[in-house]
Structure 1
């Protein structure tokens, strides 16, 4: 990266910093609930399956909403979409914090997922359009926000969770309220150009074979992702702070490989080759997590190593989506993300049910099998994916890929 770009990253208009700050908080929400899952289960007399539905409702609604967010933002504009998304997150986070039952929190997390979908589907396009120094500077700034949010979320959740399981929810309310005011005051809305997107566009995009193959791959891969993220707090047996520190390490590992390692690998080999190397390695890590689940140090090691592999997969898979079709980037990404999030939504309660029916090893074996199904999908569809190895997405396209794929 040139020195000019490095300097320009830190010399941005106030509106860019407002959206970037909101991005950090939004991505913190991915792991914020993780450290308090056992505490919620204990405090509200909820079963592990019920508790894991906190992820399911959030991810299911986020995924389904992705199918319509491009249609919404193309009509009401980026600023209005960001503000509606932030307002929904504030409102439903507050309702979660004030809830007295796990069923209520499950429902309110669904509303949170709708707000998250509206926000993350619009945030990067806004940063790219407003940042100084071109799209390269915008990508650096966005990926910094992404990595910071993913890493800090579990740590903050652990700190606040030591006080009360309600603490992380109140923390999101406060931070997102600040982000809402910042975007409202600092981001310019009028004058933006809008090109209405047909409601049916994402559904039609999934008929394209290459995109469909990648979407199915991501669905099974995401099962592995969310078993590791959402189920692991239970067998770890740590308090909120211990879980938070564990997934802080996971988040840092994921961010490092997503931003630096994945691009390096893609420069040296085909994208499909990278995928077919990383997926089996991830399956091995998940199997080892299952075998050594009763040894906390070994499980923590597997979680962090898993984060390294997940970071590579997130970036390479979503970059591949950008090359899979000539559909508009936002349309292709939203269609892919909607299918991908279904895997994330299904994984946590299935893992908890398998744990209850068998033992803590079986959920990780289930996750490993799912990841291997993802690898087989790539092998069987590799001829249809030949063109994704023949092109390099430009900087802005890669940024959109990371936005839509890593926001899960």
Structure 2
């Protein structure tokens, strides 16, 4: 081999090595948003183990308690439509800080509420803050990153996974003291996130801002792109399964004799697998199989997992295994579908995220309350049957609309 060839080969290896390690070499601002995302998504897991406790302490039915997820996701879905407009006027940093401030306010109000309907309303306010933060955080990480868009999304999904993983553990421990304690825990963690962003992110003048002010109609216009619409509807359908698992499974575990600590540990396992697979497995699946084919396979397995949980709803090890195993499936799928959304349509990333999230959280708003009601009307297995059926419907929808999104694989490789 000639010296030139050897030199070229060495240069290529160095380039590959740099590319692989560059995901960890990020600006200070990216890490500030990353850790803020962890704290923000701890809020979901922190509350999960205490759902049965809230039901008992506030004398509320399971379906009423699941409204904590419904109000949260419903407000998030609508608020997603205005996040781009607000960010384009306030800038990323100010929008992130505003979102965190709203979360802190409504977490504190929730901690001191004395009725289920008060708590449901405050969770809606929490959803408003989370919408401003979540949509803007994704845009901030993809804009400020020193690596590729795919790497930025991996960081974002890793932060979500870590937050969801740590949340149940803390929620179980704090919830054993009082159901109010996790709400206070979220408020304190978000205050830390607020301070981190305040001092570590660039000042608004120095931060990257959109080139133009976005109109309220932009997300609706973005959905005219069939690829983005297909991914949004897919997420809406599979979120029926996702939030059936999140909002209803704790009640099934409680009926089996699992206490707050136990629920926390089970969802800790779910969150750990979600975090690990979103970072380490999803990129390999994307390269080896392709984004769309991987999503179809993962969602198919998730749907079948929910159906198995429905069939064996009285068998504790099946339900526990199903919850934890679902974490691996959802971790992979979340990274893949988020990457696909960023490459789906020729629109601003913040606009694509807002449009997709609007459809996504509609499913998340309907599913929890529906699951609670189905259990009251029929039995504890029906919510899992329905959730699994919606997830399998998302697979059918992807298969029938494959041509509209097949380009996301090519764009993912080029990015």
**Is TM > 0.5 for Structure 1 vs Structure 2?**
yes
- 1:235 maps onto 2:252 in alignment: yes
Q: In the alignment, which of 193, 205, 213 is matched to residue 222 of structure 2? A: 205
Q: In the alignment, which of 236, 239, 255 is matched to residue 219 of structure 1? A: 236
Q: Structure 1: how far apart are the matches of 2:248 and 2:96?
A: 31
User: Number of aligned pairs?
Assistant: 394
- 1:346 maps onto 2:346 in alignment: no
> C-alpha offsets along residues 87-108 of structure 1, whole Å, 9 cap, x if unaligned?
1000000000000001001000
Q: In the alignment, which of 320, 323, 327 is matched to residue 343 of structure 2? A: 323
Task: Sort the Cα spacing of 1:296 and 1:127 in 2 relative to 1 into closer, same or farther, 3 A.
Answer: same
Question: Where do residues 79-98 of structure 1 align in structure 2 (5 Å cutoff)?
Answer: 79-98=93-112
> C-alpha offsets along residues 150-178 of structure 1, whole Å, 9 cap, x if unaligned?
21011111110010000100001111112
- 1:310 maps onto 2:330 in alignment: yes
Normalising by structure 2, we get a TM-score of 0.89
Comparing 310-319 and 138-147, the one that deviates more: 138-147
Secondary structure class of the residue paired with 1:272? helix
Q: Structure 1: how far apart are the matches of 2:75 and 2:147?
A: 35
- 1:361 maps onto 2:376 in alignment: no
Q: Which residue of 1 aligns with 2:11?
A: none
Q: Structure 2: how far apart are the matches of 1:63 and 1:381?
A: 24
Comparing 277-286 and 362-371, the one that deviates more: 277-286
- 1:47 maps onto 2:58 in alignment: no
Q: In the alignment, which of 260, 265, 270 is matched to residue 280 of structure 2? A: 260
Task: Sort the Cα spacing of 1:250 and 1:101 in 2 relative to 1 into closer, same or farther, 3 A.
Answer: same
Q: Structure 1: how far apart are the matches of 2:23 and 2:377?
A: 55
Task: Sort the Cα spacing of 1:134 and 1:390 in 2 relative to 1 into closer, same or farther, 3 A.
Answer: closer
Q: CA deviation at 1:125?
A: 3.6
Task: Sort the Cα spacing of 1:322 and 1:137 in 2 relative to 1 into closer, same or farther, 3 A.
Answer: closer
Q: In the alignment, which of 19, 24, 27 is matched to residue 9 of structure 1? A: 24
Q: Over alpha carbons, which structure has the higher Rg?
A: 2
Uncovered stretches (5+) of structure 2, i.e. residues with no partner: 1-15
> C-alpha offsets along residues 341-386 of structure 1, whole Å, 9 cap, x if unaligned?
1101111111111111111111100011101111111122122223
Q: Which residue of 2 aligns with 1:189?
A: 203
Q: Which residue of 1 aligns with 2:408?
A: 388
Residue pair 2:87, 2:95 contacting (<8 A) in 1 also? yes
Task: Sort the Cα spacing of 1:131 and 1:287 in 2 relative to 1 into closer, same or farther, 3 A.
Answer: closer
Q: Structure 2: how far apart are the matches of 1:268 and 1:244?
A: 34
Q: Structure 2: how far apart are the matches of 1:385 and 1:135?
A: 18
Q: Which residue of 2 aligns with 1:405?
A: none
Question: Where do residues 11-90 of structure 1 align in structure 2 (5 Å cutoff)?
Answer: 12-13=27-28, 15-90=29-104
> C-alpha offsets along residues 5-30 of structure 1, whole Å, 9 cap, x if unaligned?
648837753x4443332211101112
Q: Structure 2: how far apart are the matches of 1:354 and 1:43?
A: 23
Residue pair 2:150, 2:339 contacting (<8 A) in 1 also? no
Question: Where do residues 285-296 of structure 1 align in structure 2 (5 Å cutoff)?
Answer: 285-296=305-316
Comparing 96-105 and 290-299, the one that deviates more: 290-299
Secondary structure class of the residue paired with 1:392? helix
Task: Sort the Cα spacing of 1:43 and 1:133 in 2 relative to 1 into closer, same or farther, 3 A.
Answer: same
Q: Which residue of 2 aligns with 1:158?
A: 172
Q: Structure 2: how far apart are the matches of 1:351 and 1:240?
A: 21
Residue pair 1:321, 1:336 contacting (<8 A) in 2 also? yes
> C-alpha offsets along residues 220-273 of structure 1, whole Å, 9 cap, x if unaligned?
111011111111000112211111100000011111222222211111223222
Aligned-residue RMSD, C-alpha: 2.2
> C-alpha offsets along residues 188-222 of structure 1, whole Å, 9 cap, x if unaligned?
32323442122211011112222222211111111
Task: Sort the Cα spacing of 1:393 and 1:98 in 2 relative to 1 into closer, same or farther, 3 A.
Answer: farther
- 1:337 maps onto 2:357 in alignment: yes
Uncovered stretches (5+) of structure 1, i.e. residues with no partner: 396-408
Task: Sort the Cα spacing of 1:285 and 1:68 in 2 relative to 1 into closer, same or farther, 3 A.
Answer: same
Residue pair 2:135, 2:353 contacting (<8 A) in 1 also? no
